[in-house]
Amino acid sequence: MSDVNNNGISRRSVLKGAAIGGVGLAAGGSLLAGCGTKKVTGDVHFTIRGNLSDAGAKIAIAANDAYTKKTGNKVISQAVNSDDFQNNFVQIMQGTPDDAFGWMAGWRTNARADAGLLADVSDQIKALGKSLSPAAIQGATNPKDGKQYIIPTTYYPWGLHYRKSTMQELGLNPESIATWDDLIKLCEATQKKGLVGYALGDKGGWEAMGTFDILNMRLNGYQFHIDLLNGKEKWTDAKVVDVFTHMGQLIPYMNKNVLDISWDGMRDLLLQKKCGAMMMGSWFANDFKAKSQADYDDLWIVPFPEINPEHGVDSIDAPLDGISVAANGKNVEGGKDLAGFLGTKEGIDAAVAAGDTNIYISSDFDTSSYDAFNKQKLAVLGAAKNIGFFLDRDTRGDFAGPVVGPAIQSFLKNPKDLTKILDNTQKQWDALPAL
């Protein structure tokens, strides 16, 4: 059944590609000349992940408005709680989903594409042409069939964030930290001044995965990290114990309510100048900008320091975000058209004009206009050779949330239980059915 769907979709997308005017697809268009080069029409429904009051929602609406202005097709946006949308994704996609929505590259896209829930947007990617780097396209490609089911738009680095003003007042310079000892000293010095040394929240169960990822990549290298997340290495390995030992060394410098706060609590710690360094993805910077330009200008990011010279700082978590199209939407062609538009210069310009601080992948976007923080983000990204997508996108969904999340929480709760926790994590991986 899904085959039929896929065929239908790809045929129609050829049509659509011709409509956009994708040069490479002219042949396909003429094959189907009987149908003519129809313009994509009709209302497009778009899901915004988050609250309507969020900065992100305003940006999405602005970009969608630009699409309406260009094509005359109305975009009906609705905001949906991000966690609910992710958790119920399979159910939503099997019902009557919105045509397009912001989504995440990696496991969450590929597994759902394999199940026939997402529409193939390879033609839109082709139409975007050289504006997307081969690496970005590679990141958005489903390894099973070599097609793309997400139009990559933005990405962001995970790194140590801090406020320049806070560090200046403390007389510290995080930009000079090069080693693990430097980081510990920085945390210690911050804590001595009465601030939180290493801000962390893990109530949501995923926030601390960022710290786990980077420690694993720094200590054991990118390849080990990815192999571990895909079952080729064991959680009981001494190398993994080492990762948690390092995480344990950070616990004394953390806020005492790690399991009470979520990512937004971490953000507020930094926003309210209550902490020094915070390991987080830069996407929250939009909220700083929404608060005030001064707060945003004060924000800075540096790469997590080197721990093992063998791996240096060659890896980073930089999740790739983008727009996906539901295979079961009412207006699949419209969804694809909108998704394609959001990846073009016009779409990006509209989003940036509305205050988007994300870094766009598209080379059509003029990076010289980036503000200092974005340039720093690019520099942090540029320092790394290997790019991870973040734990819950690099491994299967029934392992990340239900197993690794609680494991890290248990460790933060009771570091002495480590052996038991890791034994159990491995046991649960072994019990997973083959995909």
Partner 1 sequence: MRTTTANKKIRSRRSLSRNDRFTLAAFIGIPTLMQIIFLWLPALITIILSFTYWNGINVSDIKWAGLANYKNIFFGTPVFYEALKNNAIWLLWFTFLATPLGILLAYQIDRKIKGHKIYETVFYIPVVLSLAIIGIIWNFMLQPGGFVQGVMGRDIGNAVSIWGNYSINTYVIMGVASWRHIGYIMLLYLAGLKSVDSSLREASAIDGATEWQTFRKIILPTMRPVNIIIVVITIIESLRAFDLVYIIYGTSTAWPLLNILVFQNFAGQGISMKGAAYAVILLVLCIGPILLYLRNVFKEDLK
Does residue number 210 form part of the binding site for partner 1 (CB under 8 A)? no
In angstroms, the CA 421 to CA 409 distance is 10
Helix/strand/coil percentages in the chain, nearest 5:
55, 15, 30
Q: Per rule CB under 8 A, is residue 433 in the interface with partner 1?
A: yes
# residues near partner 1 by CB under 8 A: 49
Asked whether 409 and 202 are in contact (CB, 8 A), the reply is yes
How many whole angstroms separate alpha carbon 20 and alpha carbon 178? 49
Stretch that binds partner 1, among 28-36, 60-68, 270-278, 288-296 (CB under 8 A): 270-278
Please classify residue 4 by burial: count the beta carbons closer than 10 Å to its beta carbon, then call 0-12 exposed, 13-18 middle and 19+ buried: exposed
Check residue 419 for interaction with partner 1 (CB under 8 A). Answer: no
CB of 431 to partner 1, least distance (A): 4
**C-beta of 128 vs 195, nearer to partner 1:** 195
User: Cβ 10 to partner 1, closest distance in Å?
Assistant: 19
100 to each of 16, 46, 71, 86, 361, how far by Cα in Å?
16, 5, 16, 14, 19
Token output for 267: 């953000």
The least CB distance from residue 78 to partner 1, in Å, is 19
* CB 128 within 8 Å of CB 334: no
- The token duo for 86 is 């992710």
Instruction: State the first-to-last Cα distance of the chain, in angstroms, to the nearest integer.
Output: 20
**161 vs 303: CA distance, rounded Å:** 9
Told to check if 256 binds partner 1 by CB under 8 A, we report: yes
Handedness of CA 150, 151, 152, 154 (dihedral sign): negative
Query: What SS3 string covers 241-305?
Result: HHHHHHHHHHHHHECCCHHHCCHHHHHHHHHCCCEEEEEEEHHHHHHHHHHCHHHHHHEEEECCC
Q: Give the footprint of partner 1 on residues 70-109 (CB under 8 A).
A: 83, 86-91, 94
Q: Are strands 100-104 and 151-155 parallel, antiparallel or unpaired?
A: unpaired
**Candidate list 164, 239, 274, 345; residue touching partner 1; CB under 8 A:** 274
| Region from 130-138, 181-189, 203-211, 212-220 binding partner 1, contact rule CB under 8 A | 203-211
Query: Which residue in 39, 144, 291, 427 binds partner 1 (CB under 8 A)?
Result: 427
**117 forms part of the interface with partner 1 (CB under 8 A):** yes
Q: How far is the CB of 349 from partner 1 (least distance, A)?
A: 35
With CB under 8 A as the contact rule, the residue among 231, 312, 397, 415 that binds partner 1 is 397
CA distance 190 to 193: 5
Choosing from 243, 327, 401, 404, the residue that interacts with partner 1 (CB under 8 A) is 401
Q: Report if residue 343 touches partner 1, rule: CB under 8 A.
A: no
Q: Which is nearer to partner 1, 130 or 256 (CB)?
A: 256
Residue type, 190: T
Question: CB of 26: closest distance to partner 1 in angstroms?
Answer: 36
* Residue 261 vs 380, nearer CB to partner 1: 261
Determine if 398 is a binding residue for partner 1 (CB under 8 A): yes
- Residue of 149, 156, 198, 206 interacting with partner 1 (CB under 8 A): 206
Give me the sign of the Cα torsion angle 254, 255, 257, 260: negative
Report the residue from 53, 134, 146, 272 that binds partner 1 according to the rule CB under 8 A.
272
Kindly write out the interface string for residues 147-186 of this chain, putting x where it contacts partner 1 by CB under 8 A and - elsewhere.
----------------------------------------
Tokens for 68, please give them.
């309406």
CB of 272 to partner 1, least distance (A): 7
Positions touching partner 1 (CB under 8 A) are 1-2, 83, 86-91, 94, 115-117, 195-196, 203-206, 255-262, 265, 268-269, 272, 274-275, 396-398, 401-402, 405-406, 409, 413, 424, 427-428, 431-433, 435
